[in-house]
Amino acid sequence: MYSFIYLASQSPRRQELLKQMGVRYEMLAPNSGEDSESIETPLLHEKARAYVERVTLAKSTAALARWQKSGLAWAPILCADTTVSLPGNSEGEILGKPTDVTDAARILNMLSGKTHEVLTAVALTIDPSQQALCLVQVSRVHFAKLSPEQIAAYIASGEPFGKAGAYGIQGHGGTFIPSIEGSYSGIMGLPIFETAQLLERAQVTCT
C-alpha cells in the first residue's frame, strides 16, 4: 500500500484532478536540463495513439531516472501526455502545442467546425524494476465554426499557448465546444477513471 505517488508533470490541471480524486502526490517534475521537446516531436507518419503512448512511456523512463538520482523513498510515479488529433488531415493528424500566433491560428482554423479526437495516455510505474503500465483514453470533441474575429480574440487572450490543439476546454476554449463524447477529465489532461484503475493496481490509498 502506498499513501502517495510522485507526479512527473508540471501541469496545474493534472494536479487539480489528482486533488479532486483525493490522491496525495509529491512533484517529480523534469529538470531544466532535460530535453523534453525532442521527446514530444512526432515521428514521420506517426499515428496519434502510438505517439501519445511513446511520449508518455519516454516521460516515465526519464522520471524513473530522476527518482534513481534523488535518494527519495520509493512510491509509484505517474506520467501523462495529451495530444489532439484530426484524423485524415493532410498536414498530419497530430496537432501539438502552437509555436506562435500564426501557428495557433492555423490549428484553430483546422479545428473550426469539425470533430477531432483528444487522446491522453496515463502511465504509472508501480515497481522501479518494471516498465510502467499505460492506458490511453480517447474522446471526440465537436468544435463550433469560429469566425476570424473569434480566433484572433482567443489567441490574444494567451490561452491557446502551451496546450495541444491550441485550446483549453477548462477555460474560454470550452465555449467553442457544443458537445463531447468521452472523458472531460481526459480532455483536460488526466482521465480520472483510467488513472483510478492504475492507482488501484498499485494499491495507492486515496483520502
User: Residue 155 belongs to a domain with what CATH number?
Assistant: 3.90.950.10
* pLDDT of 7 higher than 80: yes
Q: Is 81 a catalytic residue?
A: yes
150 is a domain residue? yes
207 is a domain residue? no
* pLDDT of 138 higher than 80: yes
133 is a domain residue? yes
Rounded mean pLDDT of 105-115? 97
206 is a domain residue? no
pLDDT in tens, 12-59: 999 999 999 999 999 998 877 676 667 888 888 899 999 999 999 999
Contact status, residue 176 vs residue 146, Cβ threshold 8 Å: yes
What is the per-residue pLDDT for 12? 93
Rounded mean pLDDT of 62-66? 95
What is the per-residue pLDDT for 89? 82
For residue 138, the enclosing domain spans: 5-201
132 is a domain residue? yes
Average pLDDT, the chain: 94
Rounded mean pLDDT of 93-119? 96
Angle separating helix axes 148-157 and 101-111, nearest 10 degrees: 130
* pLDDT of 90 higher than 80: no
Q: For the chain, what percentages of helix, strand and coil (3-state, to nearest 5) are there?
A: 40, 20, 40
Catalytic residue among 35, 81, 100, 127: 81
pLDDT range class, residue 70, cuts 50, 70, 90: very high
Rounded mean pLDDT of 113-123? 97
* pLDDT of 93 higher than 80: yes
Cell numbers 491522453: residue:
120
Give dist(CA 106, CA 108) in Å, integer. 6
What is the per-residue pLDDT for 37? 67
What is the per-residue pLDDT for 45? 85
> How many structural domains comprise the chain?
1
Reported in sequence order, the residue ranges of 20-114 that DSSP labels E, i.e. its strands, are 25-27, 77-85, 94-95
172 is a domain residue? yes
38 is a domain residue? yes
42 is a domain residue? yes
Reported in sequence order, the residue ranges of 31-97 that DSSP labels E, i.e. its strands, are 77-85, 94-95
Least confident piece of the model among 64-78, 85-99, 157-171: 85-99
Closest CA to 124 of 71, 191, 72: 191
Give dist(CA 28, CA 112) in Å, integer. 36
Contact status, residue 167 vs residue 159, Cβ threshold 8 Å: yes
* Stated pTM of the model: 0.93
Contact status, residue 142 vs residue 178, Cβ threshold 8 Å: yes
What is the per-residue pLDDT for 65? 95
pLDDT range class, residue 95, cuts 50, 70, 90: very high
Q: Give per-residue burial for 162-178: e unless 16+ CB within 10 Å, then b.
A: ebbbbbbbbeebeebee
